[in-house]
Structure 1
Amino acid sequence: MLEQIREATAYIQRSVTETPVVGIILGSGLGNLAADITDKVEISYNDIPHFPPATVEGHAGRLILGRLGGRPVVAMAGRFHYYEGLSMQQVTFPVRVMKALGIHTLLISNAAGGMNRHFKVGDLMVITDHINLQPEHPLRGRNIDALGPRFPDMSEPYTKALIAKAGDIAAAKGISLHSGVYVGVQGPSFETRAEYKYMHVIGGDAVGMSTVPEVIVAVHSGLKVFAMSVITDIGIREEENVITHEEVLAAAKAAEPHLTYIFSELVRQL
């Protein structure tokens, strides 16, 4: 893996002159933040050594390097998922590469189903913790000490100082934020009503098919992490609640301006 990381990093570095300090992962329907990145260079995932191709609708499949909020950043316009048939090492490989490029902080967004009765479609939820229900772990196998410790501490996977700063940014702008626990599942099917209820009972406020593996690898790598979900459906309702990917993308798009503002200001204030 170390050689693959070096090869991917070297390829990307040939296209840029600045070292990024913040990495950003943009989830389903949340790619427009890339439009606010200036002086940017875009690289297709297909061109980067050892990057899998993006296959999910709403994910552009480009690595974008430039400046946001006056700081050099690297952004993933589209992520990888375990349900695509990839290994967890492939899913999280870009996090390793962004760390090798020089980032110290990772900002993550996703579209998620709400299980908290106080949520509504379009709300933003700051992730304060997670429950990992995915069937594979990205650190399984021989540990590479150069990348991180064998047993990384997960008592604070989401950096409290960044959560507090995001709260201040949102309050100053009049943006309403929830906070809660994100449950990571494999997918790609949406959850049954019974599964929504189960995940709420065990402590979840939102559920999605990404983020958790990326966060685990980011923590293993020594990165600070901030993550936010756009609530794109409410799965715990008793009434008929049919969910489609198109509706998820539409809800994410509607909420995106507020998420973009918070992410941009977080980068600027780091």
Structure 2
Amino acid sequence: MPTTINESAIETSFEYIHSRLPEEFKSVKLGIICGTGLGTLVETIDPATKHEFHYGDIPGFSPSKVIGHASKLVFGHLGDARTPTVFMVGRFHYYEGHTMQQCTLPVRVMKLLGVETLIVTNAAGSLNPNQKVGDLMVIHDHIFLPGLVGNHPLIGTNLNSFGTRFPSMSDAYSYRLRRLAFLAGHQVGISLDTMHEGVYCMVGGPSFETSAESRLLAQNGGDAVGMSTIPEVVVARHCGIQVLGISLMTNAVVITRGRNAKKDVLIDAGLPHDHLAHEEVERDAIVANHEEVLETGAARTADMQRLVKKIADLLVTDQ
């Protein structure tokens, strides 16, 4: 994968794909990025219309090395309305060693393919006690920690053919699309008690957050935390693409302080310890792990499939 991205590199990727597509997919309006464990969303499309490109064959793309990411670009008709759609089954992650520009190259390619609406899904850890494992969170805002310290996909020469030098992110997540997501959930029988709106925080990864880092995010308005999504959203908005983000809560983030070693010693020694009344928890029992992320993704697959198909159908009727 190249270390820098310019219009020529994006055009090369686009031409490779576009020249091999049948006429019905020469222009697609809907794009979907499938997050960890959610790649089975592509199974919702009509297999007779499916066209696949492996990342390793596309100039500028690179296979993902993360379990749960199949590394292919798939075209097909989605939902009852048979909406021509491009699926990104597996994404590039910053923690794999890619630059932010490399991670977001596929979004630029989607723009050239005609995509006007992008649905971005991810697996995330819940920072909000009201969001349980298995719940869905419709993203209404984000905190981009890598971007705030300079690891930003728009750093460098602006690609003027795609967008302005200083795009606004205050409206990154479309109200219209968020409303359609909840309407779709209701119509396919997903309890709205298990669907929320919230703020998604991106950390660089690949390590899961410490409890102190998690408290920092939660205390500053974060509802969920993950290692992706925001760079793609930023570039999509730079391109003028409307965005809907959906996070699947696959684990509860450890926020409590854990056992206080000094307090335990004081207790054992029979010494005063009330001034060290920190909240205690057996941390080992709730440590985050990738296996839990995959298991939860698999368990909620059917709901995610029904939800995304219905959103696609509502997009057609809501024009």
Which residue of structure 2 lines up, in the alignment, with residue 24 of structure 1? 32
Q: Using the alignment, how far apart are the partners of 1:94 and 1:237 within structure 2? A: 34
User: Residue 247 in 1 paired to residue 255 in 2?
Assistant: no
Which residue of structure 2 lines up, in the alignment, with residue 62 of structure 1? 72
- Find the partner of 1:220 among 209, 229, 238: 238
User: Residue 266 in 1 paired to residue 271 in 2?
Assistant: no
* Contact 1:110 1:210 survives alignment (8 Å): yes
Deviations 1:75-128 (A, max 9, x none): 011001111111111000000001111110000100000010111111111001
Shift in Å, 1:253? 1.1
* Contact 2:254 2:287 survives alignment (8 Å): no
The one-letter amino acid paired with 2:52 is: E
Q: How does 1:151-166 map to 2 (within 5 A)?
A: 151-166=166-181
Q: Indicate the larger mover: 203-212 or 36-45.
A: 36-45
Shift in Å, 1:237? 5.2
- Find the partner of 1:102 among 114, 120, 129: 114
- Find the partner of 1:49 among 54, 59, 62: 59
Q: How does 1:163-182 map to 2 (within 5 A)?
A: 163-175=178-190, 176=192, 177-182=195-200
Shift in Å, 1:174? 3.0
- 3-state SS in 1 of match to 2:294: helix
Which residue of structure 2 lines up, in the alignment, with residue 142 of structure 1? 157
* Contact 2:200 2:222 survives alignment (8 Å): yes
* Contact 1:114 1:236 survives alignment (8 Å): no
Deviations 1:114-146 (A, max 9, x none): 010111111111001000101500000111211
Kindly report structure 1 stretches of 4+ aligned residues shifted beyond 3 Å: 236-239
Name the one with the larger strand percent: 1
Q: Using the alignment, how far apart are the partners of 1:202 and 1:50 within structure 2? A: 37
Gap regions ≥5 residues in structure 1 = none
Which residue of structure 1 lines up, in the alignment, with residue 263 of structure 2? none
Q: Using the alignment, how far apart are the partners of 1:2 and 1:53 within structure 2? A: 22
* Contact 1:163 1:226 survives alignment (8 Å): yes
The one-letter amino acid paired with 2:305 is: T
* Contact 2:215 2:255 survives alignment (8 Å): no
User: Residue 77 in 1 paired to residue 89 in 2?
Assistant: yes
Larger Rg: 1 or 2?
Answer: 2
Q: May I ask how many residue pairs the two structures share in their alignment?
A: 270
- Find the partner of 1:127 among 132, 139, 157: 139
Identity value in percent: 47
Shift in Å, 1:53? 2.0
Q: Using the alignment, how far apart are the partners of 1:202 and 1:236 within structure 2? A: 16
Aligned-pair Cα RMSD in Å: 1.1
Q: Using the alignment, how far apart are the partners of 2:52 and 2:187 within structure 1? A: 32
